A and B are shown apart, each in its own frame.
Chain A
Amino acid sequence: MEFKTFVFYFLSAILVFAALRVITARNPVHAALFLVLAFFNAGGIWLLLHAEFLAITLVMVYVGAVMVLFLFVVMMLDINLERLRQGFWSYLPVGALIGILLVIEMAMVLGGRYFGLDAMPVPPEPMAGFSNTRELGRVLYTDYVYPFELASLVLLVAMVAAVSLTLRKRKNTKYIDPSLQVSVKREGRVELVKMQAEKED
């Protein structure tokens, strides 16, 4: 076995295991951390495909930012697992039946026949000096500039939606305006009073 193949199987095994643990872990924090592990291994597999930009961005965006905030929320939630598990066994037969059906159907269609090595030729090895980042940048800002700009507007929609649904101005909040704090002068705080010395006699 080639070294690369070994690395691929190694990463894939961890990826599959981590992904399984995401849905089977009882503790939501553990599940979230396993998701982090899964992202990490997926990034590794992408690296094997010479997609270093995507791989590193995956780690940076999902592991470095999204999952941190996700953990933030999950840790603060007090999820009652018992209630979540209610009705699990009564739904299981139907769910399992549909799941198995789907798996069989997908296996029939997606089995090695159509997406195997014969159907999908191996892409040529990139030339020396090939930079995944440069190539992605090139197509992103030329051929795909329209969807790229639209995607930025989708993010804008998400921001506007999130802010408009959550921002509340509370009346009794004790907000301090930092610019006022900074511009405080001595005269505003201390008053020096000149007064005669008083003698006790």
Chain B
Amino acid sequence: MKNWPPKEKKMPSRFKRPLGKYKIIKRASCNNCGLCVEVCPYGVYKFRGKNVFISDEYHCIGLSCNQCVEKCPEKALAVVKNPTVEALGDYRWTSDLILSTWYQAETGKPPDNMEYKIGNSGGGFDRLRFDFELEKQNLSLKEHVSTAINLNRRNDGRPQVTISVPWYGGGMSFGSVSLTTMLARARACMEWNSFTCTGEGGYPEALIPYKDHVITQVATGLFGVREETVKRARIVEFKYAQGAKPGLGGHLLGDKVTPDVARMRESVPGISLFSPFPFHSVYSVEDHKKHVDWIKEINPKALISVKVSTPVDVDMVAIGSYYAGAHIIHLDGSYGGTGAAPDIAKKNIAMPIELAIPKVHRFLLEEGIRDEIVIIASGGIRTAYDMAKAIALGADGVVTGTAELVALECTRCGNCERGRGCPRGIATTDPELSSMIELEWATQRISNLFHSWYLQLIDILRHLGMHSITELVGRTDCLFYIDKWSEHA
């Protein structure tokens, strides 16, 4: 395939002093001699006229280098661990993961001095590791490794849809995120021949040029679901439930329902929108089949994806969806991201994705229909390693959400639904806030992150001696689980 993979392009942060692991203190005794500018291998210091200033503090790799500190004739420099980094992050997205995602979004490749594979949640993906000694054989760099997956395995006459990478973007609605964010995701997904999803809040007209790479979501609020939005998509996604708040519908609080959002959703500005749960026309598997048939009638070419949460009987839900005619069963685990959800639902309802995937995979194998349906996993997929582990557990591919926002410099402050929305302009449609992000910058940041993920997936497959990501599906023998866990940073 020509122009594959898409090239990375350096795209630094929007801020003057982006956070890095280390902080540099330049005391007043600095005499602007410029020795640090010469000596630093990472371009931390620069001249502005005759004065030396700290230009890229976040590139500093810290005390293991320490060249500038040692060489400064006036002893004016000090390098310390940045105390703000301790206030950043949590168990799932640690400060290292956030910083390394920013690094990958800037450069297109993984960093070599920060953790970029696992978080610190003490379970699930963070306790699974790849057993790289398993396959002694390593593929040489000359052999081609494919990361593409097919999304239609039903042989039902509908067109095949192949995505060149085993992930696509999760639904983040207009209203919960800005139009710029949605466009950036759509453009990056077009570059990488994958998809993004409109989310619950309707199909903005600005996305139409990218329609071959946009999934229309039909959610319980049925916002913006019209014949034309269903007809123009190659894949239609039914959102029955969302991992982060199973048993509840979407939440969009009043201040975020701006006039544009209200128009798209045919509602009133300033009034909070709580989507119902469930679909009030679906109370059984038979109703579900009717639902699927409805969309299939309107769009004879579209593939159907069914997005569900992970209850105890998720395997039953999966098989029910298969018999109802779905092509993709999309499992959304409980630790996924959201714009707003009750804390009790995020933590307690339904199971995390790592525990649901093997259940569904095994059950569908036993039922003999595993190779006729595609399992997509989402809910807390943060890194390329999480992705590969999800596939090894039994999924065909994954859906990402939060990771793409972190690429746009989300700090996981959690203020998404507070007032006008995201203070960084990502998860908001407030005109002033969303102008903080520029479309070209955002597109390239996401594309760079994808590039880094692509490199890592290829690397994992090469280590495992596999020529295609499809060979990794269900290969739990490539994993091992860390039994004794000690809580440490």
The finding on whether chains A and B are genuine partners in a shared complex, rather than unrelated, reads no
**Interface set of A (CB-CB < 8 Å, partner B):** none
**Interface set of B (CB-CB < 8 Å, partner A):** none
